Structure 1
Amino acid sequence: MNKAKVLVLGGLREEALDDLKQNCEVTMGPVGHRMDDDYEWVVDHIAGYDGLIAPKMTIDKKILDNAKNLKIISTYGVGFDHIDVDYAKQKGIVVSNCPKSVTRPTAELALAMILACARRLHFYDHSLREGAFLDVNEYDNQGFSIEGKTLGILGMGRIGQLVAQFGQMLGMNIIYHNRHQVATEIEDKVNAKYVDFDTLIKESDFLTIHLPATDETEHIIDSDVLKKMKSTAFLINVARGSLVDQMALVKALKTAEIAGAGLDVLENEPHIDEELAALDNVIMTPHVGSATHVARQNLTKEASENIISFFVNGKALNQVD
């Protein structure tokens, strides 16, 4: 029996592809600095492959129309907004993602952002690099404690639940809003209270977002929402840049409508807004939620398991379409 042909993009960890190589015929694609740099190469070569592992490259109708034999796409992460899932479904192509491997590292980064914002790490680091050893006896140079503060979680999935656990361990009060209220046992585990969207926005001292990028969630945090937040509140986004109206956020940060922000994702990645970058009350990282050695190893294995399960067992794991 001929093995399925699988194209792997994005420079994944080859040492974690052993199981995939045993079950499928694997080709490693080009590795550009940005995934979409190799878009045309994929358009020209995708026709011969049955499976595809695609980290963040745009997989649109042009690629899907050229993918004459393609039966399954596995992302290299939990997000799949870079794939035209509806069109893939029309063509009978399964799309699956990797939710397990990104949960802990992304939740850890959200926690790191909360602590970095509260303790003003960017402000202190920036000041020292400019030669100013601040007098922290001055009120304006002091940070904020998080014990007893309210952690608001927008999106109570795997990542949101783990962030809630972290917040509970640090003595924070946990409130959340989700499309549907989660099970009582989950709420009890982290002592979380379900609230409506407006209450979440108004009461959170730290508002952290854990939603997928969809038409419904685009700019869910806009100028009106930012105006409702406490002037002492911090916004944390380790999900997708499109969830926040970045221009409105810049204005809110510059005018002290909110105290600060921690952003792992930007609206127009990889472009960095100059106004945003100039602010001392925002800390940014270049979309590194899953960027740990262990997480990337696990992601490669999870993406491989999606493909193997489909071709060996006839059913994809983590199917999203």
Structure 2
Amino acid sequence: MKIIIDDKIPYIRGAFEHVAEVIYLPGAKTTAEVVKDADALVTRTRTRCNEKLLAGSSVKFIATATIGYDHIDTTYCETNGLAWTNAPGCNSKSVEQYIASTLMVLADKNEWNLSEKTVGVVGVGNVGSKVASICKLFGMKVLLNDPPRERAEGGDKFVSLETIQNQADIITLHVPLNLKGEDATFHLGNELFIKKLKNIPVLINSCRGEVVDTNSVKNALKEGQISDFVCDCWENEPEIDLELLALTAIATPHIAGYSKDGKATGTRMSVQAISKFFGLGLEKWVPVGIEPPKEPEFEIDGSGLTEQQIFSKAILHTYDIRNDDKLFRKNTELFEKLRGDYPTRREFPAFTIKVKNLETKAIDKLKELGFNI
């Protein structure tokens, strides 16, 4: 048995070596010639798994260690008897942390009380539901839009996109990239979408670059139709639009889901899926060696602080998005390297807070975020 693995997937080395021949390669070097005699691929979003790569190969199973799977031609795979899987929800807590840091930085910059703001969450799957939960924890009014879920579950907890356009101060996108059909999301954030925005909101894209139309957002920022744009996912990555970059409030190189915890979960799900498919006996395999944070324990003295300021101290200790923004702006030509060599970022449960002069309500909310107290 032969397995080709993207060499940027962490914690996976040693998982299969005792049951298969394993080759580690950069995604860009995973070619048709390389995979022709492989049984399985473990990949990321940079490898296009389509007819050009797979035709005439012996590949039977593809595992992508990512939530997104638009790099896999699922129609081709299913037509030709190739099984595939993604890792749904693997980095949802990481994106939650990314959005939490974003909100704290924007609140500080704009002198916001978040409890007075309305946020529209477009796409309420694994990621969007967690983002909605933390926004509620911050006291925000939360509007949920998810047409597929609304059709399946009824409309009581969902609102139309028009309602979000009319009421939201912040709109955060968490949809998959669907190119066509009833739930198409390609260029969802286009000129027409923007023209209907009433409150000159902040727009956040941390799902897929093509969900937002670059030119429409640039024009909207120039004309004051949106107040700020926070962008992690870009059209035409890694050759991003530098004019849009200059206009954004916060810019990062597609790393919202790049916590070590999220990556480890994606790896675990991929290994276990391949094991189950081929009967390798690795269904209980888990990654080891996940790097600890630099300062896993820290103190917060709540004297004179508002609840939002307490949240800000806790969240920004774990992840200050301004650092990624600064590094990216200085090294835009290194888009892929910044992703591939992304430093250790751990999620809230990897941290313990020593609290002083905090009310029980604030402590309970920090615990709800995932912190150890």
TM > 0.5 fold call: yes
The 3 A distance-change label for structure 1 pair 60 and 5 is: same
- 2:302 paired residue number: none
Instruction: Give the AA of the match of 1:88.
Output: C
- 1:165 paired residue number: 133
**How many aligned positions are there?**
275
- 2:4 paired residue number: 7
> Is the aligned partner of 1:196 residue 2:152?
no
- 1:135 paired residue number: none
Instruction: Give the AA of the match of 1:271.
Output: E
- 1:95 paired residue number: 84
Structure 2 CA distance for aligned equivalents of residues 200 and 84 of structure 1: 32
Asked whether the 8 Å contact 2:91–2:259 carries over to 1, the reply is no
Asked whether the 8 Å contact 1:113–1:236 carries over to 2, the reply is no
The 3 A distance-change label for structure 1 pair 117 and 269 is: farther
Asked whether the 8 Å contact 1:233–1:259 carries over to 2, the reply is yes
- 1:210 paired residue number: 174
The 3 A distance-change label for structure 1 pair 309 and 232 is: same
Moved more, 71-80 or 284-293: 284-293
- 3-state SS, counterpart of residue 236 of structure 1: strand
Instruction: Give the AA of the match of 2:120.
Output: G
> Is the aligned partner of 1:61 residue 2:61?
no
TM-score, length-scaled by structure 2 = 0.69
1:240-255 matched pairs, under 5 angstroms: 240-255=208-223
Instruction: Give the AA of the match of 1:282.
Output: A
> Is the aligned partner of 1:289 residue 2:279?
no
- 1:306 paired residue number: 273
- 3-state SS, counterpart of residue 276 of structure 1: helix
Instruction: Give the AA of the match of 2:164.
Output: L
Asked whether the 8 Å contact 1:276–1:282 carries over to 2, the reply is no
Q: Deviations over 1:89-141 (max 9, x none)?
A: 11100110011321111222122223333433xxxxxxxxxxxxxxxxxxxxx
Q: CA deviation at 1:26?
A: 4.1
1:103-118 matched pairs, under 5 angstroms: 103-118=92-107
Structure 2 CA distance for aligned equivalents of residues 52 and 195 of structure 1: 40
The 3 A distance-change label for structure 1 pair 55 and 156 is: same
- 1:28 paired residue number: 23
Q: Deviations over 1:247-298 (max 9, x none)?
A: 100111111111101111001111231211222x521110002212222222
1:226-245 matched pairs, under 5 angstroms: 226-245=194-213
Structure 2 CA distance for aligned equivalents of residues 168 and 20 of structure 1: 42
Which ranges in structure 1 are unaligned for 5 or more consecutive residues? Answer: 121-141, 317-321
Which ranges in structure 2 are unaligned for 5 or more consecutive residues? Answer: 284-373
Structure 1 CA distance for aligned equivalents of residues 137 and 97 of structure 2: 13
Instruction: Give the AA of the match of 1:60.
Output: N
Structure 2 CA distance for aligned equivalents of residues 19 and 45 of structure 1: 21
TM-score, length-scaled by structure 1 = 0.79
Q: CA deviation at 1:193?
A: 3.7
Asked whether the 8 Å contact 1:264–1:285 carries over to 2, the reply is yes
Instruction: Give the AA of the match of 2:178.
Output: T
Instruction: Give the AA of the match of 1:161.
Output: S
Asked whether the 8 Å contact 2:16–2:22 carries over to 1, the reply is no
Asked whether the 8 Å contact 2:64–2:87 carries over to 1, the reply is yes
Structure 2 CA distance for aligned equivalents of residues 65 and 200 of structure 1: 44
The 3 A distance-change label for structure 1 pair 199 and 240 is: same
Asked whether the 8 Å contact 2:145–2:160 carries over to 1, the reply is yes
Structure 1 CA distance for aligned equivalents of residues 140 and 204 of structure 2: 15
Structure 2 CA distance for aligned equivalents of residues 26 and 287 of structure 1: 31
The 3 A distance-change label for structure 1 pair 247 and 119 is: farther
Higher normalized contact order (CA 8 Å, seq sep 6+, divided by chain length): 1
Structure 2 CA distance for aligned equivalents of residues 228 and 26 of structure 1: 55
Structure 2 CA distance for aligned equivalents of residues 246 and 116 of structure 1: 23
- 3-state SS, counterpart of residue 91 of structure 2: helix
Q: Which structure 1 residue ranges, 4+ long, deviate > 4 Å from structure 2?
A: none
The 3 A distance-change label for structure 1 pair 270 and 143 is: farther
Structure 1 CA distance for aligned equivalents of residues 273 and 89 of structure 2: 12
